[in-house]
């Protein structure tokens, strides 16, 4: 029993060393405080990975991600429910607290993987996928990574 506990503690420590978790974006990601518009098919997404999305159809000043289409809109994530994880070569930004969904019996949420590329002239965000109310986006930005 003691050996198992020690192995679990070692694994937890290794995971903590490999990544760092924060509720706010580090200063390296300040460039991602603007509002970005991503169009995918009939949907338009407005995201502010490290700020508050301005003037979205979802309204309010706590919007991290909003989805809109011809017949409506949906809050996908709140900026106050942001978590940022630093990895080797990229960051992962989670935005929770989106509108409830009966599809997944939970809230919608957003995951944005930000890949560090010092040659990128401006941040670029693209829609990746949707799975169980998790909207996944990928971004490339001129930022420093671990």
Look-up of token digits 């603007």: 34
The DSSP output letter for 27 is G
Interatomic CA distance for residues 77 and 133, integer angstroms: 11
Domains and CATH numbers, the chain: 20-141 (2.70.130.10)
The answer to whether the beta carbons of residues 48 and 79 sit under 8 Å apart is yes
Question: How many Å from the N-terminal Cα to the C-terminal Cα in the chain?
Answer: 36
Residue 51: pLDDT band by 50, 70, 90 thresholds? very high
What pLDDT does 144 receive? 80
The answer to whether the beta carbons of residues 49 and 139 sit under 8 Å apart is yes
What pLDDT does 20 receive? 53
pLDDT single digits (tens) 59-113: 888 999 999 999 999 999 999 999 999 999 999 999 999 999 998 999 999 999 9
Is the predicted pLDDT of residue 7 greater than 80, yes or no?
A: no
Residue 22: pLDDT band by 50, 70, 90 thresholds? low
pLDDT single digits (tens) 109-138: 999 999 999 888 899 999 999 999 999 999
């Amino acid at each position: 029993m003691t050996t198992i506990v020690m192995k679990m503690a070692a694994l937890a420590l290794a995971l903590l060393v490999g990544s760092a978790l924060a509720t706010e974006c580090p200063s390296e990601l300040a460039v991602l405080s603007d509002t970005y518009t991503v169009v995918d098919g009939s949907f338009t997404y407005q995201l502010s990975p490290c700020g508050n999305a301005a003037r979205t159809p979802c309204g309010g000043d706590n919007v991290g991600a909003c989805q809109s289409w011809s017949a409506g809109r949906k809050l996908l994530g709140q900026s106050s429910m942001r978590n940022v994880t630093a990895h080797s070569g990229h960051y992962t930004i989670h935005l929770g607290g989106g509108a409830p969904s009966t599809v997944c019996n939970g809230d919608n949420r957003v995951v944005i993987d930000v890949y560090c590329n010092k040659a990128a002239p401006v941040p670029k965000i693209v829609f990746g996928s949707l799975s169980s109310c998790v909207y996944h986006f990928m971004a490339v930005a001129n930022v420093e990574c671990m």
